Amino acid sequence: MFDQAQLRKGTLEGCILKIIDREPTYGYAIATTLRDSGFADLTEGTLYPLLLRLERKGLIAAEYRAGSGGPSRKYYRLTPDGVQYLNEFTEAWQNASDTVNRILHDKEG
């Protein structure tokens, strides 16, 4: 049986960066967006280590902001390196997607 986890593993970083690129945001909102977009089984145990890894790689930066009546939240934003990485990911994803679609939808094969 096909292992979808392997396919998703390679795309989550790019998707997370795109969500953060739209506007600075926090982990719970990122998780909600990912789940609403089709990553239904995403857990915090998957997301937060990815965010930490992206931060350590210098692709995102974080700052704490006061919450409205609650505790402070850690908001993430893209760094210049994160913008470059996202652009490279987007181009690579489009090329891979086009290639796979050509093969999967080829009527001659």
Tokens 């704490």 appear where?
64
Q: Considering the entire predicted model, what is its pTM?
A: 0.87
Residue 93's pLDDT is what? 94
33: number of CA atoms within 13 Å, CB side? 17
Q: How do residues 36-74 score in pLDDT, each as one tens digit? A: 999 988 888 999 999 999 999 999 999 999 877 788 999
Residue 87's pLDDT is what? 97
Q: Per the structure, how many domains does the chain have? A: 1
Q: How do residues 1-23 score in pLDDT, each as one tens digit? A: 777 777 777 799 999 999 999 99
Q: Which domain holds residue 76?
A: 9-104
Q: Is residue 1 part of a domain?
A: no
Q: Is residue 91 part of a domain?
A: yes
d(CA 84, CA 39) in angstroms, rounded, equals 24
d(CA 61, CA 78) in angstroms, rounded, equals 6
Determine the 3-state secondary structure of 6 from DSSP. helix
